[in-house]
Amino acid sequence: MKVRIVQRTIQNLAPPKRGNLVTWDTEIPGFGVRITSTGVIAFVLDYRLNGRKRRFTIGRHPELSATAARERTLELRRGILDGRDPLERRAQDRDQPTLNELATEYLERHALAHKRPSSIRNDRQMIDVIIRPRLGSLPVKAVSKRDLELLHTSLKATPYRANRVRALLSKMFNLAVEWGSRGDNPVRGIPKFHEDQREFWLSVEQMHEFLKALDSYPEQNAADSLRLLLVTGGREQEVLSADWTQFDLARGRWTKPSHATKEKRIEHVPLSEEALALLRRMKEASTGRGPLFPGKAGARKTIRRTWVQVCRAAGLAEPYSVQGKRRVITRYRPVLRIHDIRHNFASYLVSSGVSLSKVGKLLGHTRPETTQRYAHLQDKALRDATNVFGRIFKAAGKTGQ
């Protein structure tokens, strides 16, 4: 039977008792709609190429409307006239790696070899929670710029997170180009969202409450890791992976090995009296060998739970609700990140008059512009300096009276 295939045609189809029934279109050669005995409806295209007659299933209804199926059929017929076989193309596409497979390859071939544990953990979380559920099943070659724009836009409420996902996808597609899975990077041209610079640091009162919370925390070895972060401005993984061989308490120096630093170079950091007092106390209470903060196997990997509990006790966490299996559960989210302790260290030094170059050396910055973010904090130190002359001027005025 032949009829012009439109939406009404689909509505009037009746399933056969056995097998399937194809209704052919009166206008487009080879275009038909098939209905099975179970009522499944799909659009098909019969064509002949290189002497072989073949049938291609275009797509199912209602996922594909009659109008869309007609348009798709015309595109396929143009390709067939140019010698492109849609069945062979589909078979090739099935053999193409998916974004799920690219993500796994990225983690195994690139991230594990070149990134720090904390960065790998963040990448894995973004891949498992955001990228795989949304785009994981797509072939790498089929992912479009539009797909990635929609994903990026859906994360607009958290611009920092959105931009980190964008950066991760860009790196993954750059590697896909390098590894021959794709010819271009579809992330290019997708603009980043504006990010307000994080400027959080603890007031003296907040610092007092934070230290009180550390003193009352039941696991003092974990609390000491946060104390060491506070008094050195070190990065979380630098502190957690540290072992006693890195510390020369007589000279007051911490030698960070290249594999532990972000810049992948050895850093020699002078230690304050407060840091040395903390380390001496810790060493007396331990064997003085191996990692400063031991975990189940080697050094401790994370202090996230400690961080949340200490921030909550110090009044530095906000409550939020999540739906549990039986009831709504209240949890707490710190108002600052562990990395903000590093900013806290730098901010107090700069605002107290320590030069940006010295602060940069203490933080292990290799580029001056990295430390430049704290430049505005110099205003207080400069204002204090100008007040020195102000006091002299005022005293001179009184002398002349």
Residues 308 and 208 in one domain: yes
Structure tokens at 208: 């007092």
Other CB atoms within a 10 A radius of the CB of residue 240 amount to 24
Instruction: Give the CA angle between residues 268, 271, 273 to the nearest 5°.
Output: 165
Higher pLDDT, 198 or 112: 112
Residues 281 and 232 in one domain: yes
Other CB atoms within a 10 A radius of the CB of residue 222 amount to 20
**Predicted local distance difference test score (pLDDT) of residue 389:** 63
Q: Is residue 389 a part of any domain in this protein?
A: no
Q: Is residue 160 a part of any domain in this protein?
A: yes
**Predicted local distance difference test score (pLDDT) of residue 203:** 87
Provide the CATH number for the domain around residue 171.
1.10.150
Instruction: Supply the range of the domain harboring residue 58.
Output: 7-95
Higher pLDDT, 222 or 288: 222
Quote the CA–CA distance of 364 and 258 in Å, as a whole number. Answer: 11
Q: Is residue 214 a part of any domain in this protein?
A: yes
Q: Is residue 321 a part of any domain in this protein?
A: yes
Q: Is the pLDDT of residue 28 over 80?
A: yes
Point out the domain boundary residue: 301, 334, 367.
334
Residues 272 and 300 in one domain: yes
In the chain, % of residues over pLDDT 70:
91
Residues 60 and 105 in one domain: no
Residues 18 and 80 in one domain: yes
**Predicted local distance difference test score (pLDDT) of residue 381:** 63
261 pLDDT band, cuts 50/70/90, is confident
- The model's pTM is 0.59
Residues 139 and 159 in one domain: yes
281 pLDDT band, cuts 50/70/90, is very high
Please name which of 174, 162, 91 lies closest in space to residue 131, comparing C-alpha atoms.
162
Point out the domain boundary residue: 300, 334, 368.
334
Q: Is the pLDDT of residue 401 over 60?
A: no
**Arithmetic mean of pLDDT, 156-184:** 92
Q: Any bridge partners for residue 269, and if so which?
A: 254
Q: Is residue 355 a part of any domain in this protein?
A: no
Residues 89 and 104 in one domain: no
Residues 54 and 113 in one domain: no
Average pLDDT, whole number, for the chain? 88
* CB-based burial label for 310 (10 Å; 0-12, 13-18, 19+): buried
Residues 38 and 136 in one domain: no
15 pLDDT band, cuts 50/70/90, is very high
Q: What pLDDT, in 10s, does the model give residues 57-106? A: 999 999 899 999 999 999 999 999 989 898 887 776 666 788 999 999 99
Q: Is residue 103 a part of any domain in this protein?
A: yes
Distance, C-alpha 142 to centroid of its chain: 23
Q: Is the peptide bond before 62 cis (omega within 30 degrees of 0)?
A: yes
**Predicted local distance difference test score (pLDDT) of residue 399:** 58
Provide the CATH number for the domain around residue 216.
1.10.443.10
Query: Following DSSP, what letter does each residue of 375-391 receive, concatenated?
Result: GGGHHHHHHHHHHHHHH
Residues 133 and 228 in one domain: no
Provide the CATH number for the domain around residue 78.
3.30.160.390
Residues 126 and 233 in one domain: no
Q: Is the pLDDT of residue 392 over 70?
A: no
**Predicted local distance difference test score (pLDDT) of residue 385:** 65
CA–CA distances in Å: residue 284 to residues 121, 189, 279, 287, 288: 33, 56, 9, 8, 7
Residues 278 and 301 in one domain: yes
**Arithmetic mean of pLDDT, 138-148:** 91
Q: Is the pLDDT of residue 400 over 60?
A: no
Point out the domain boundary residue: 334, 358, 374.
334
Q: Is the pLDDT of residue 240 over 70?
A: yes
Please name which of 45, 114, 96 lies closest in space to residue 73, comparing C-alpha atoms.
45
In the chain, % of residues over pLDDT 90:
57
Q: Is residue 91 a part of any domain in this protein?
A: yes
Q: Is residue 262 a part of any domain in this protein?
A: yes
**Predicted local distance difference test score (pLDDT) of residue 346:** 86
**Predicted local distance difference test score (pLDDT) of residue 331:** 85
Give the count of domains, the chain.
3
Other CB atoms within a 10 A radius of the CB of residue 213 amount to 19
Please name which of 75, 58, 72 lies closest in space to residue 22, comparing C-alpha atoms.
58
* CB-based burial label for 361 (10 Å; 0-12, 13-18, 19+): middle
Q: Is the pLDDT of residue 140 over 70?
A: yes
Quote the CA–CA distance of 304 and 317 in Å, as a whole number. Answer: 13
